[in-house]
Amino acid sequence: MTIDYLIENVSVNKSFGGWQKQYSHHSKTLNCTMRFAIYLPPQASNGKKVPVLYWLSGLTCSDENFMQKAGALRIAAELGIAIVAPDTSPRGEGVADDEGYDLGQGAGFYVNATQAPWNRHYHMYDYVVNELPELIEATFPVSQQRSISGHSMGGHGALTIAMLNPERYSSMSAFSPINNPMKCPWGQKAFTAYLGKDQSTWRNHDASELMRQATQFVPAKVDQGLSDDFLSEQLKPEVLEAAAKVSNYPLELNLHEGYDHSYYFISSFIEEHLRFHANHLNK
C-alpha cells in the first residue's frame, strides 16, 4: 500500500553535514495543520535508511525548542540517527484552548481526549504513535527502528507511549518527566479536562502505574535535576523508582545536584541519552 502525504517544507538548514528541516502538513488525526522538525544525519544522504529518535517537548514548547537548544545534532550526525520533533499540541483557529499555560494549545499531554471540546482535535497519542511515524517512514530515508524521548510533559509522553507500545520502540528516555500525573496538579488538571473525572481512565497515561504493572520492558533512562523547581510537587521521580522495583523494570534513574528544569540541564546530558538510544537501536 502506498501512503501519500502532502507536506510543505517550511525551512531548511545544513547542520553537522546533515539537514535540519521543518515541515507542515494537514493532520487527519488532529483535524488541523501541524508542524514538525526532522534532522537527517549525513548517513541518510547516502541512500541508507537510518533509525529515528522521536522527541516530545514540554509545556508551552513547539518543535523548535529542542532542535535549537539541546545541542543534539552533532551527536545525532555522528551516530547516524534521525531526530523527529513534533509540536506539543494541535494549534490554530478553531482549536480549543485555555487561558492557562498548562492546558490547551501547547499542552496536549500526549493523550487522546474524550471530553468536549478537546476531543475534536486533541488526539496527540494517536498522532505520535501512528500518523506521524507513517508520514516520516513514507517520506524520508528512515527505518522502522524507533526510540522515543522527551522533557517534562514530553517525558511523561515518551515513557507512557513506549510502555503502551513496547513492540514499537527499542528504548525510551526522559528528562524531568511528570512521573505520576494522577497525583500532581499538572496531570490532574489536564486529565480531568481531556479524559474526564473517572480516574480509572487515567491509569494508562501514568508512567508510574504502567511501570509498576509492566510485563514487557523497554530499556529506560531518566535524568532529573535536584534543583528543579517542579521536583516535589509535579515530577515525583521517587514514585517511578518505587514502581520500577515492583516489576523489576530496567530503569536507569540519575539524579543530578544543582541542575534545574531548563535546556541547560538537557544540553548537559543529551549526549548520554543519544548514545543510550544508539546502543539499543543498533541491537
Give the pTM. Answer: 0.97
Q: Which of 57, 147, 152, 170 is catalytic?
A: 152
- What kind of architecture, by CATH, is found in domain 7-282? 3-Layer(aba) Sandwich (3.40)
* Annotated active-site residue in 261, 273, 277, 280: 261
Assess whether 152 carries a catalytic annotation: yes
277 as an active site residue: the answer is no
Catalytic residue among 63, 87, 223, 228: 228
Q: Among this protein's residues, is 228 annotated catalytic?
A: yes
Give, for all 283 residues of the chain, the pLDDT tens digit.
344 578 999 999 999 999 999 999 999 999 999 999 999 999 998 778 999 999 999 999 999 999 999 999 999 999 999 999 999 999 999 999 999 999 999 999 999 999 999 999 999 999 999 999 999 999 999 999 999 999 999 999 999 999 999 999 999 999 999 999 999 999 999 999 999 999 999 999 999 999 999 999 999 999 999 999 999 999 999 999 999 999 999 999 999 999 999 999 999 999 999 999 999 998 8
Burial state string for 226-263 with b = 16 or more CB within 10 A and e = fewer than 16? eebebbeebbbbbbbbebbeeeebebebeeeeebbbeb
Ordered by start, the domain boundaries in the chain are 7-282
